[in-house]
Structure 1
Amino acid sequence: MLEISDTLHLPDDEIELNAIRAQGAGGQNVNKVSSAVHLRFDIRASSLPDFYKERLLALRDQRIGGEGVVVIKAQRYRTREQNRADALERLVALIRSVAGAEKTRRPTRPTRGSKQRRLEGKARRGAIKAGRGRVDY
C-alpha cells in the first residue's frame, strides 16, 4: 500500500515497476546492472477518487501520456531499491500536487500613488510633445 494521505492509499497492484538499465555515465555498473526503475501508473484504471483523476488528467505534465498513464523513470541512485523509493516518492508528490484546492484570484486595484504617478507621467509627456510645435516670432 502506497500512502498518499491519511485517508488515501494506493494498492501496490495498480503501480507497475520494471527494472531497466540506466543511461549515462557510470561505466561497468551502468552497463551490467539494471538499477534504474520504470514506473507506470494508469490514472483511469486506478482506485483514486474521481476528483484526483480529473485533476491529474487535466495537468499539462510531460510524465502523463495521452492515454492517462503516468510514466516515471528513476535512475538517480546506484541501487534499484533507492530508485524504486525515489520513483514512488515522485508519484506521491505528483498526486499530492493536485490535492490542494486552488486559491481563487482576487483582482487587485491600482493604488492612489500609482494612479497619480501615471497621470503625472502623461502630463510630462504631453508637455514635451506640445513643445515640439512651430515657433512663431
Structure 2
Amino acid sequence: MMIFVTPEISIDEAELDESFIRASGPGGQNVNKVSTAVQLRFDVRRSPNLPNDVAVRLMRLAGSRLTSDGVLVLTAQSHRTQERNRADARERLVELIAKAAVRPVRRRATKPTLGSKTRRLESKAVRSGIKAGRGRVRDD
C-alpha cells in the first residue's frame, strides 16, 4: 500500500519499519505493561520513491532524528494506544517529506531606493544632533 505525500511523491509502506516500545507519560499502570509508543524508521538514502533533491532537503530538515546511516527515526508516544501513536508518527513523516518537497525560492538581490537612502541619512543626522546635545556644558 502507498502513502501519498504530494501528487508526485508517494512512499511504499514496505519502506517503513515500525517497532513498538514502552512509552513514558500518560497511561497509568498500563505504561509498565504495554508497548504503546511507536518508533518509525524510514531509510531516506535508499528510498527509491524520493527524488534526490527532496532526500537531501529531508536529511537536512531531520537534524538529530537522522542516524549516520541516513535512517530517519521518529518516536510517537503522546497517545495511549498503539494505533493513534502509529498514525501520529506517519503523519509527522508525511509532513516532513512534504516540507522537504517544497523547493526553496532564491532571494533576488535588490538595491535600496534613493528615497529610502535619504530618509535613512536624515534620521541619522537627527539622531546625531540629539546625541551631540548631550555633551558637557562648559562655563566660559
Q: Which category of TM-score, normalised to the shorter sequence, fits these structures? A: 0.7 to 0.9
Which stretch has the larger CA shift, 22-31 or 117-126?
A: 117-126
Q: Distance in 1 between matches of 2:88 and 2:119?
A: 52
Paired residue type of 1:41: F
1:46 partner letter? S
Query: 2-side partners of 1:39 and 1:112: how far apart?
Result: 55
Equivalent positions of 1:1-137 (< 5 A) are 1-47=2-48, 48-59=50-61, 61-124=63-126, 125=128, 129=132
Deviations 1:68-109, CA, capped at 9 Å, x for gaps: 110000011111001101101101111111111211112344
When normalised by structure 2's length, the TM-score is: 0.79
Shift of 1:58: 3.4
Q: Which has the higher helix share?
A: 2
Give structure 1 stretches of 5+ with no counterpart: none
Q: Which runs of 4+ in 1 moved over 4 A?
A: 126-132
CA root-mean-square deviation: 2.8
Give, in angstroms, the shift of residue 113 of structure 1.
Answer: 4.7
TM-score by length of 1: 0.81
Question: Counterpart of 1:70 in 2: which secondary structure?
Answer: strand
Q: How far apart, CA to CA, are the structure 2 residues paired with 1:123 and 1:54?
A: 49
Alpha-carbon offset, residue 12 of structure 1: 1.4
- CA gap of 1:10–1:129, structure 2 versus 1, over 3 A, is same
Counterpart CA distance in 1 for 2:27 and 2:88 is 19
Q: What is the total number of aligned residue pairs between the two structures?
A: 137
Question: Structure 2 unaligned runs (5+)?
Answer: none
Query: Which one is further off, 9-18 or 60-69?
Result: 60-69
- Cα deviations across residues 9-32 of structure 1 (Å, max 9, x unaligned)? 211111000111101343212111
Query: Residues 129 and 13 of structure 1: is their aligned pair in 2 closer, same or farther, counting only changes over 3 Å?
Result: same
* Percent identity (aligned): 48
Counterparts in 2 of 1:104 and 1:91: CA distance versus 1, 3 Å: same
Partner-residue secondary structure (3-state), 2:45: coil
